[in-house]
Structure 1
Amino acid sequence: MTIKGVLFDFSGTLFRVESTESWLRAVLTDARLALPEPELLRTAEALERAGALPGGAFPVEPPTGEPGELWAVRDRSAEHHRAAYTGLSRRVTLPDPALHDALYDRHMTPPAWSPYPDAAEVLAALRERGVAIGVVSNIGWDLRPIFRAHGLDPYVGAYVLSYEHGIQKPDPRLFAIACEALGVDARDTLMVGDDRRADGGAAALGCGVHFVDHLPAAERPDGLRPVLDLIG
């Protein structure tokens, strides 16, 4: 098939969030608070085990009961997303309770994210070939400023974000919205993501699907380049 449009996931596909340790250090610095190094490292590890960093590791112990119900729909609204992740953060004791919201706010800033090394190259090559590009993300906040800050926004023709539509991947409706926004048929579209369940939902529409590994940026320097080989 000839690919006329490519949809990309955000976190773990085009961008990678900073480490939990970097995330915590930045917020403590902004708050002018300090922890002894061993305590800081223990706290960062506890936050990672809790799954408190959006875009980072999933909780080692997933929430149950009402928190679990919120976790399941966290990407359907900004309110759900903040409540779910700050709820996980509050499993960990921090020197100031205000830091839980500060951590959440930090993860929405451009310095918290790095594009994968080959992201700009691949997006530019697709645009040069006349391929329409969209971003489809399960998320609870506006990621467009991240793309603008890192110079990738000019390549993107449409952003379809779960919280803006009240629909989460793998629901095929989210991918259908993206295809319509780009003016491409789903059967002529490739979805690129790192989550086989969520991103694999595009296959129900007839989209092709290609998966990449969710790794630190330095460990995946050219994971997106195979996409160019899939374009007819």
Structure 2
Amino acid sequence: MTIRGVLFDFSGTLLRIEPTVDWLREGLARVGVEVSGEELRRLAGELERVGALPGGSEPEEIPPELRELWEARDVDPSGHRRLYVTLARRVPLPGPPEVYDVLYDRHMEPDAWRPYPDTRQVLAALREREVPVAVVSNIGWDLRPLFREHGLLPLVDAFALSYEHGVKKPDPPLFALACEALGVAPQQALMVGDNARADGGATALGCAVHLVRHLPVTERPGDLLPVIDLVG
């Protein structure tokens, strides 16, 4: 099969959110709060346990009253905010009540995200070979400003974002929209992601799939590099 277009997942594939402890430190600083390193790590661990950081750890358990919000989080921007702010509020934090909204806003900022070491190299190689690229993401907010700030926007031809279309991975329509935007048949597309269930949904359309490991940026230097060879 000849690959004529590549679809990439966003979080955990091309970029990764900052560590929870850094996210919390920044949020507390913005409301004028400083805590000891030990306390910072303890609070960060609690926030990870409840899944308060979008793009970070999933909750150990989802409270029944939040189940509906959880299922719809990536197709409803207001629900996305409400869900994650509510999850974060399960952990008592020092400072004013608005600290939870400050933390949510922080996770959408470009410098809260770090590209994997091979992201730019692979996207640039695909551009050089004239292989179009789409980002296909379950997300509750617009990724384009983030890609622009990281200098990656010129290397992406299209975005298929769940909240804009009301459908999310692994449902085939989101992948189909991405292929259509690139002008390639699904059978000529490669989906690259870190989640076998969500990203593997592309196989229902006939797309090939390449999975990368969901690891911190510093621990995954080259999982994207095989994509260059897969496009021939």
Under TM normalisation by the shorter chain, which class is it?
over 0.9
- What amino acid sits opposite 1:66 in the alignment? E
Aligned to 1:45: 45
Aligned counterpart, 1:142: 142
Deviations 1:43-77 (A, max 9, x none): 1110011111011111112x132301210111011
Shift of 1:111: 1.0
Counterpart-to-counterpart distance in 2, 1:66 and 1:165: 25
Q: CA deviation at 1:229?
A: 1.6
- Whichever residue aligns with residue 200 of structure 2, its letter is G
| Alignment partner, residue 70 of structure 1 | 69
Q: Structure 1 unaligned runs (5+)?
A: none
Alpha-carbon separation, structure 1, partners of 2:58 and 2:50? 8
For residues 173-184 of structure 1, the aligned pairs below 5 Å read 173-184=173-184
SS in 2 for 1:210: strand
Residue deviations 1:61-109 (CA, integer Å, cap 9, x gap): 2x13230121011101101211111121111001222111111100000
Distance between the aligned counterparts of 1:118 and 1:38, measured in 2? Answer: 33
SS of equivalent to 1:76: coil
**2: CA distance, partners of 1:44 / 1:194:** 24
TM-score by structure 1 length? 0.97
Query: In structure 1, what is the Cα distance between the partners aligned to 2:212 and 2:118?
Result: 12
**Matched residues in 2 for 1:98 and 1:31: separation?**
8
Where in structure 2 are the equivalents of 1:151-162 lying within 5 Å? 151-162=151-162
Q: Deviations over 1:185-220 (max 9, x none)?
A: 100000000011111111101100110001111100
Alpha-carbon distance in 2 for matches of 1:64, 1:21: 24
Q: Which runs of 5+ in 2 are unaligned?
A: none
Structure 1 residues 71-90: aligned runs within 5 Å: 71-90=70-89
**Is residue 56 of structure 1 aligned with residue 51 of structure 2?**
no
Shift of residue 118 of structure 1? 0.5
Q: In structure 2, how many angstroms separate the alpha carbons of the residues matched to 1:37 and 1:14?
A: 30
Q: Deviations over 1:131-162 (max 9, x none)?
A: 11000000000111111111111010001110
Q: Secondary structure at the match of 1:56?
A: coil
Residue in 2 that maps onto 1:170: 170
Runs of at least 4 residues of structure 1 off by over 3 A? none
Identity %: 62
Counterparts of 2:63 and 2:22 in 1: how far apart (Å)?
28
| Cα distance, 1:31–1:195 mapped onto 2, change above 3 Å | same
Query: Which TM-score applies when normalising by structure 2?
Result: 0.97
How far apart, CA to CA, are the structure 1 residues paired with 2:213 and 2:182? 26
* 1:91 aligned partner: 90
Query: What amino acid does structure 2 have at the position aligned with 1:87?
Result: T
Moved more, 181-190 or 26-35: 26-35
Q: Which whole-Å CA distance do the structure 2 matches of 1:183 and 1:40 have between them? A: 48
